Amino acid sequence: MMRLIRIIALLPLAGLFIHCNSSKLNNPPEQQFKIGNTTVGIQSVATNLNVPWQIAWGADQQIWYTEQSGSISKVNPETGTTKRLLLLNDVFRDRTSGLLGMTLHPDMKAHPYVFINYSGYSKDKSKVSKVVRYTYNAEKDTLLSPVVFLEYPAWTSHFGARIVIAPDGKVMISTGDGAQHDNAQNVQSPNGKVLRYNLDGSIPTDNPFKGNPVWAWGLRNPQGLVYGNGKLYCSDHGDATDDEVNLIHKGANYGWPFVEGFVDTDKEKLFAKDSMVTAPLKAWTPTIAPAGMAYYSSDKIPELKGNLLLTTLKGNSLRALALDANGEQLVEDVNYFEKVFGRVRSVCVSPAGDVYIATSNRDWNPNAAPAKNDDRIIRIYRLDAKDSDPAAQSAVIAHEKNEGLNKGALLYTNYCASCHKEDGKGIDQTFPALLKSPVVTGDKKLLVHTVMNGRNAMPKFSFIEDKELAVLLTYVRKQFGQGADAVSTEDIKKGRK
Ligand code: HEC
């Protein structure tokens, strides 16, 4: 009796943390697309989230997710019911900082652990990144007993922050370089690395350096980390060029900040002469802003079987990267759902072979006004023939608009719009407006110099060829500089000297 009273007394409280939305798995799909010969349906499983940074499939058949502001919740995809498990009270959330990566131990019965990576405060109130292990208490359905594995320096950007459990039970963590150039090549710094720990937070004796969690280095902002067939893959944001997907090996150096993408410039060759640099499986220029990854091993959507799934932010898509039989090369790269859901941050696959993605349209760098129900966790699932619309459009979206754009506008879209935005208005406090900027309208030399060499958080674009850069900057001056005159190839050549 006492027990019953207690439960009843708790109910209204619990109600505060549980809210239902209308999504149910047996509802008809909101949209249909074709992935090869397979028709897939789209359903919103959770809506109105505050930048869900990580989604992870739980053994309880629910999707666990972090939100950047500091909460860990789960949603039941059958019913759309969400429940908050934990609200952290020491999160430092700014543009890209906050509660980020999370992983659940694959065997929660034996090891009921949930690992998270977030930026918060240390005891002395300085800003730090933390890797913390919580223990899941199934009876209370909450997370308890935090153990801090690692507190490491945090700056204002490049946090990396994915975590996965290796097949051998080790904890693998990708960390960003903090936008500090010296970190990634310094094996004494935990920044710009893949780190490796035991489940209890101790350092494995077979790590490359004794007593050091560093497993691999030379990374910039690795926001994707996943095992596929026993191999570890990692996505990494490049600067102005060369976003990467890497196959991570013990003790390997991926080159940042001296090598971007493949070793192809003279400077890079010089660096690679003295240091073994491991090439990426693939590098993308123009950049796509790669984030979360998953490995698709199900037969449900045969076109995706054996593929790495990679979400992109700037690219606004979900890419499927087919691996060769050894998992050591990418043999195909198909870009799905481009600009259908906006920025995509995280992806997971359920045992049934459904793909779940989380959008990131309310983060610090939106491409447009977010949709009313953003951010969302979305289910992408195979439809039976009887439920399939034979006229469903391909998930490889043909954006004809781009072909109609003139060359300058296209270059601007590829290289500049992710920060300064298509309309040139930028983002307040973060990316200055180019529209009517004196640097754009004024002396061409200053504009060429700024774009060629970068400035603070603005990357340098000297890799763009003279002719293309002239076309690009002519567009910028015409479009945003109140019709200022053209930039010639000669102007660019002069600027290079
Ligand atoms: C990764 C984000 C990013 C990208 C991509 C980017 N910029 Fe910038 N840009 C910035 C930031 C940040 C600043 C401000 C730098 C500072 O604080 O000094 C800036 C400043 C500028 C300025 C000076 C504006 C002023 O009024 O001071 C110009 C001009 C400019 N960018 C042009 C471009 C062009 C052209 C491109 C494409 C080739 C481009 N940027 C790509 C981030 C970016």
Give residue limits of the domains in the chain.
17-394, 400-496
400-496 topology per CATH: Cytochrome Bc1 Complex; Chain D, domain 2 (1.10.760)
Question: What is the reported pLDDT for 274?
Answer: 87
pLDDT tens digits for range 63-109? 999 999 999 999 999 999 999 999 999 999 999 999 999 999 999 99
Question: What is the reported pLDDT for 24?
Answer: 62
User: Is the beta carbon of 446 within 6 A of some atom in ligand 1?
Assistant: no
Quote the distance between the C-alpha of residue 79 and its chain's center. Answer: 27
User: Is the beta carbon of 474 within 6 A of some atom in ligand 1?
Assistant: no
Among protein residues, the one with the nearest Cα to ligand 1's atom 43 is: 458
pLDDT tens digits for range 450-484? 999 999 999 999 999 999 999 999 999 999 998 89
Q: Collect all residues with Cβ–Cβ distance below 8 Å to 117 and sequence separation of at least 6.
A: 100, 101, 102, 129, 130, 131, 132, 159, 161, 162, 163, 173
Question: What is the reported pLDDT for 10?
Answer: 43
User: Is the beta carbon of 203 within 6 A of some atom in ligand 1?
Assistant: no
User: Is the beta carbon of 470 within 6 A of some atom in ligand 1?
Assistant: no
Question: What is the reported pLDDT for 132?
Answer: 98
Q: What is the CATH number of domain 17-394?
A: 2.120.10.30
Question: What is the reported pLDDT for 393?
Answer: 97
Among protein residues, the one with the nearest Cα to ligand 1's atom 5 is: 416
User: Is the beta carbon of 289 within 6 A of some atom in ligand 1?
Assistant: no
Question: What is the reported pLDDT for 402?
Answer: 58
Question: What is the reported pLDDT for 117?
Answer: 98
User: Is the beta carbon of 451 within 6 A of some atom in ligand 1?
Assistant: yes
User: Is the beta carbon of 471 within 6 A of some atom in ligand 1?
Assistant: no
In the reported structure, the alpha carbon of residue 450 is separated from the centroid of ligand 1 by a whole-number distance in angstroms of 8
In the reported structure, the alpha carbon of residue 135 is separated from the centroid of ligand 1 by a whole-number distance in angstroms of 44
Q: What is the pTM of this model?
A: 0.90
Show the low-confidence residues of the chain (pLDDT under 70): 1-24, 401-404
In the reported structure, the alpha carbon of residue 481 is separated from the centroid of ligand 1 by a whole-number distance in angstroms of 14
User: Is the beta carbon of 437 within 6 A of some atom in ligand 1?
Assistant: yes
> Do residues 65 and 54 make contact, with C-beta atoms less than 8 angstroms apart?
yes
